[in-house]
Amino acid sequence: MKKTSTQAEWAARAKEVLPAGGLGNFDPSIFISHGKAARVWDEDGNEFVDYLIGSGPMLLGHGNEEVQEAIFEQIPKGMTFFANNSAGVELAEEICKAMPCGEKLRFVASGGEANMYALRLARAFTGRTKILKFEGGYHGMSAEAQMSLAPTQQANFPQPIPDSAGIPNSVASEMVIAPFNDFDYVKSILAEYGADIAAIIVEPLQRIVPPLPGFLQLLRDEADKHGIILIFDEVVTGFRFAYGGAQAHYGVKPDLCALGKVIGGGFPLGAVVGRADIMAHFDAQIVGRDKWLMQMGTLAGNPVAAVAGLKTLEILRRPGTYEKLNLFGNSIMDMTRTALDAVGLPYQIVGEPSLFEVVFTPHPVRNYRDVLNADTTATNRYHAALHQLGIFKSAGKTYPCLALTDEDLAITEAAITTASKYLIN
């Protein structure tokens, strides 16, 4: 690969002003210059097929011309107003129409913020304080979300483990942690704590791990039984798995869902969507000042993100869109199986065609600990090789996008084949 000092110089400058030399998201030694369709280029001029796509939001690929046209039409009219705008209303209408749980919507600036407000809504509505969260589930950066997100020590359930400094011990006292996909444990923990729990929050697909058949329905049934609000974190899966999100894909309707990523068309935007009676806590005239949940944000629902989201959703509604996305995903899964079977190393491909990853383990992957206990040495070698061979992605997820071409897939297949051989050499 072409190497110059450009990225090294940027890295040195970054260390002077950015803690740990980065934005906190990704490998700080990598600086992306620009992207187009399913490709990105770093500051050294190296070109990659992109399976990170901004950690998911660029479902249409980079620089989609129809989305750009909508943005360029809006920008001269104004970029943000801190007041209602018609594009925001139109986008809210479309999201509510698409999502099975969608009765009312409130925009925020990010998916993590949406999850934070969803939890607060559940507490306001039920009058309870405890939250049931699944170990390894990612729900943003709030104090509750940072409990047992990525613990390296395996504590006994339901004990929470903070993943960040600066979180008061009092937060842990309000969190109940369970293993994903464990039917019996969920029933037992709710039998004990159910009357105190305001919300069950879950990624319908936890990072890359699919729910076992019937697990999401169990959560729905148990939430109804104990008067608990069921929250689906659809920041990643919303409009990626299906036009109605994972709740449509899996056929289970939550009370609330959190959205982000795709709905902003590449711009910062999130939303809480759900039952009208719960969402009423955003309206003091309905619930009264004592039950009102204050929420505001300078850029929430801004018209640039709204028009980008509207155009993105319009494109996703076109016939054959999700069939095309799943075809790409299945093709990459198949080429991965072919390459890894040839080298004989045990592995699992975990997830759905539109979002998946290779986990190097001979055992079925059903929860966070199964991923944690996999062969990290093989994982790191494999993904380092892929990067050297022109594939840009994280080691935790593969995000296909709709802009992939036959040439992109051919490059991907060649890279996967070669990277697989590195595992045994």
| Euclidean distance between the first and the last CA atom of the chain, given in angstroms as a whole number | 21
- Per-residue DSSP letter, 364: -
Q: Which of 138, 250, 322, 382 is catalytic?
A: 138
Question: Which of 101, 106, 104 has the alpha carbon at shortest distance from 257?
Answer: 101
What are φ and ψ of residue 215, in 5° steps? -70, -45
Q: Which of 42, 50, 182, 233 is catalytic?
A: 233
Question: Which of 387, 385, 329 has the alpha carbon at shortest distance from 47?
Answer: 387
233 as an active site residue: the answer is yes
Alpha-carbon gap, residue 376 to 383, rounded angstroms? 11
Alpha-carbon gap, residue 27 to 269, rounded angstroms? 24
Q: Which of 253, 261, 311, 393 is catalytic?
A: 261
Alpha-carbon gap, residue 115 to 234, rounded angstroms? 9
Chain-centroid distance of CA 201 in Å reads 14
Residue 394 and residue 356 in contact, taking contact as beta carbons nearer than 8 Å? no
CB atoms within 10 A of CB 178: 22
Q: Give how far Cα 17 sits from Cα of 2, 12, 29, 138, Å.
A: 27, 9, 14, 28
Burial string for 49-61 (b: 16+ CB within 10 Å, else e) reads: bbbbbbebbbbbb
Chain-centroid distance of CA 38 in Å reads 19
Alpha-carbon gap, residue 131 to 137, rounded angstroms? 13
CB atoms within 10 A of CB 69: 12
Cβ-in-10-Å burial (0-12, 13-18, 19+) of 255 comes to: buried
| Strand 47-50, strand 391-392: pairing | parallel
3-state SS, residue 210: coil
Cβ-in-10-Å burial (0-12, 13-18, 19+) of 134 comes to: buried
Residue 235 and residue 260 in contact, taking contact as beta carbons nearer than 8 Å? yes
3-state SS, residue 389: coil
138 as an active site residue: the answer is yes
> Which residue numbers are catalytic?
138, 233, 261
